[in-house]
């Protein structure tokens, strides 16, 4: 759930594609993951992602020496946790397919509701517990800084409050 960018003109689309390629678009997400958290509360995951060699429908962290893939980096900051899960803030530096889902699963913290990457099912949630909450970039024509935010949707806010006893950030 959350924010996404749509261009209304070809010129704007070209500029947005360039911003993504130049990694000047800042994309931030909130996620609920299987817990409790292991490791340091702030981590930068730099692990290449490619097609899972065992299941072509999935992506996976790969060894570029043996498997095709692309570099990927996700900064992860722990916001809160309870024994059954944790709330994390993720910042994408690259934009690979399923990047947050793959990196979180590689850390042993698959997203809640993400059956593809090993996340536990959550009865009150019919999707992955992932929300694009902030998007910042330069206006594609004027260059003026833009920042958009999206509140946590009701299903994730309710899960956070009812199961984690945490208020929505």
What is the per-residue pLDDT across 49-73, written as a single tens digit (0 to 9) for each? 999 999 989 999 999 999 999 999 9
Residue 149 sits in which domain range?
10-164
Question: Which residue in 145, 88, 94, 80 sits closest to 111, CA to CA?
Answer: 88
128 domain residue, yes or no:
yes
Confidence tier at 166 by pLDDT (50, 70, 90):
low
100 domain residue, yes or no:
yes
4 domain residue, yes or no:
no
Q: How far is CA 75 from the centre of its chain?
A: 10
Give the CATH number of the domain where residue 19 resides: 3.30.2350.10
1 domain residue, yes or no:
no
Whether 162 has a pLDDT exceeding 90, the answer reads no
CA–CA separation, 78 and 43 (whole Å): 9
Question: Is 72 in a helix, a strand, or coil?
Answer: coil
Whether 89 has a pLDDT exceeding 70, the answer reads yes
5 domain residue, yes or no:
no
* Number of domains observed in the structure of the chain: 1
- Summarize pLDDT for 68-78 with one digit per residue, the tens: 999 999 999 99
2 domain residue, yes or no:
no
23 domain residue, yes or no:
yes
pLDDT at residue 167 in the model = 64
CA–CA separation, 82 and 131 (whole Å): 19
Whether 116 has a pLDDT exceeding 70, the answer reads yes
| Strand partners of residue 47 | none
CA–CA separation, 63 and 81 (whole Å): 31
Q: What is the pTM of this model?
A: 0.91
Instruction: Find the mean pLDDT for residues 17-28.
Output: 91
111 domain residue, yes or no:
yes
């Amino acid at each position: 759930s959350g924010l996404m960018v749509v261009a209304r003109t070809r010129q704007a689309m070209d500029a947005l594609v360039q911003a993504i390629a130049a990694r000047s678009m800042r994309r931030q997400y909130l996620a609920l993951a299987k817990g409790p958290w292991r490791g340091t509360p702030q981590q930068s995951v730099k692990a290449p992602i490619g097609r899972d060699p065992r299941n072509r429908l999935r992506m996976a962290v790969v060894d570029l020496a043996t498997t095709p893939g692309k570099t990927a980096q996700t900064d992860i900051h722990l916001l809160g946790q309870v024994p059954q899960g944790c709330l994390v803030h993720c910042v994408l530096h690259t934009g690979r397919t399923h990047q947050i889902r793959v990196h979180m699963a590689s850390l042993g913290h698959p997203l809640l509701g993400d059956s593809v990457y090993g996340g536990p099912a959550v009865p009150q949630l019919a999707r992955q517990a992932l929300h694009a909450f902030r998007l910042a970039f330069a206006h594609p024509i004027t260059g003026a800084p833009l920042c958009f935010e999206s509140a946590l949707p009701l299903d994730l806010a309710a899960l956070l409050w009812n199961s984690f006893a945490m208020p929505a950030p």
